[in-house]
Each structure stands twice: as structure tokens, then as C-alpha cells.
Amino acid sequence: MTTHLQREIENLKKKILGMSAEVEESLRNAVDSLVKRDVRLAQAVIDGDDHIDHMEVEIEEDCLKILALHQPVAIDLRYVVAVLKINNDLERIGDEAVNIAERAAYLATHPPIDLALDFKGMAAKTQRMVSRSIDALVNLDSAIAREVRASDDDVDEMNRQMYRLVQDYIAVNSDRVTECVHLLSTSRHLERIADQATNIAEDVIYMVEGEIVRHQPEDFTK
């Protein structure tokens, strides 16, 4: 690797880490706004999305510049291609955090639903998947990436459990359907974030090992 290319890749790593930190904070605040019924915090998440979008565009431009000017090969090429894809996944996680915040802002202006829905627990698992997927990227650690990939089933099951609980509630509380739909949407947004974290993990596996595992059952990658 030339010194100049190495410097560009190190700069790229710093930027993707900075973006991941912003996205993780946005997700954390979105969930807090839901749990605490905090409209102002929800609005702050919504307002902060433009900054994340700007970061995504900047990182994409940097990746394309590196590809055009340096024509990297082998691990360097895989790294830049992976960052291009991960950059997009992080932006989508930011969008899902905004979706959660919008649901939170609506729900905060209506009486609470008397249901023991573990959004904090589901969010904690999802946030850990995002954080660990970024750890895998920083450390070029495919073992961590595989751990993230295996965690997705837990979040899927929590999403299914929430759907069952809310559907049962709707059956006897037909006047609260709109609020329940927002709750179901929130669960679905968290499940999608877990999917995006899984995508990041799969891109790290490709970057480190050169293996595309995206369409393989998880057991095949152990």
C-alpha cells in the first residue's frame, strides 16, 4: 500500500467510525424518546438526520475518489467496497431511528398503552448488534461479525412476540388501533435495524475472508 493510499484509508476509517457514533446516538435517543414519552428528544433525532445524510454523501465521495485515483487491490479494494456498502447501511439505520422517533412523538401525545412491551430490551439487543458490527469492522474481526449475524434470530423472535401481544390487545381494545399500529411499526423498525447490522457484519466477513455469506444459512458460516 502506498503511503498516500494508506493515509486515505485511515481517514476513511475515522469518518465511518464518526458516522457510526452519530447513528448509534440517534438510535439510543430515539428509543429513549419512546420509553420516556419525550417529544423534544424525538424531534432532536428527526432534526439530526440531515447531518447523518451529509456524512453518508461525504464518505461515499471519498470511497469513489480512492477507487478512481488509487485503484486498490486485494484487501484494500475489499475494504473500500465494504465501507461503501456499510456507509449505506448506517444511513438506513439513521433513517429507521427517525422512524422510531416519529412514532414516539405521536405516542407521547396519546394515553399510554397498558402493555408490557420490552422495547428497551429489544433496543438493547439491536444496539449491541450495531455496535459489535462496527467493532468487527474496526478490528477486521470476522469472528465478531459472525456473532452479530447469529444474534439476528433473537431480535426476530422478540419482534414476533411483540406482534402477538399487540394483536391480542387490539382484539379487546379496538378503540386503540392507531396507537397499536405505531407500536408495531416501532418493533418492525428495530427489527430492520438488526437486519442492517447483520448486513454490516456480512460485509466485514467478505472484507476479511473474501467470502460472500449473504445468502448462506448462518450454520454454513461457522
pLDDT of 10-27, one tens digit each? 999 999 999 999 999 999
| pLDDT value for 142 | 94
Q: 218 pLDDT exceeds 90?
A: no
Q: What percent of the chain has pLDDT over 90?
A: 76
Query: pLDDT tens across 65-98, in order?
Result: 999 999 888 888 888 998 999 999 999 999 999 9
As a whole number, mean pLDDT of residues 113-129 equals: 90
Q: What percent of the chain has pLDDT over 70?
A: 96
As a whole number, mean pLDDT of residues 38-60 equals: 97
Rounded to an integer, what distance in angstroms lies between the CA atom of residue 98 and that of residue 198? 20
As a whole number, mean pLDDT of residues 22-34 equals: 94
Q: 222 pLDDT exceeds 70?
A: no
| pLDDT value for 3 | 86
* Domain hosting residue 28, numbered range: 3-221
Rounded to an integer, what distance in angstroms lies between the CA atom of residue 181 and that of residue 51? 29
Total of domains in the chain? 1
Which residue in this structure is represented by grid cell 449475524? 149
Q: 220 pLDDT exceeds 70?
A: no
**Range with the poorest average pLDDT among 73-82, 119-128, 185-194, 212-221:** 212-221
Q: 48 pLDDT exceeds 60?
A: yes
Rounded to an integer, what distance in angstroms lies between the CA atom of residue 135 and that of residue 206? 15
Q: State pTM to two decimals.
A: 0.90
Q: 191 pLDDT exceeds 90?
A: yes
Residue 212 confidence class, pLDDT cut points 50, 70, 90: confident
Residue 1 confidence class, pLDDT cut points 50, 70, 90: low
CATH code of the domain containing 178: 1.20.58.220
| pLDDT value for 219 | 52
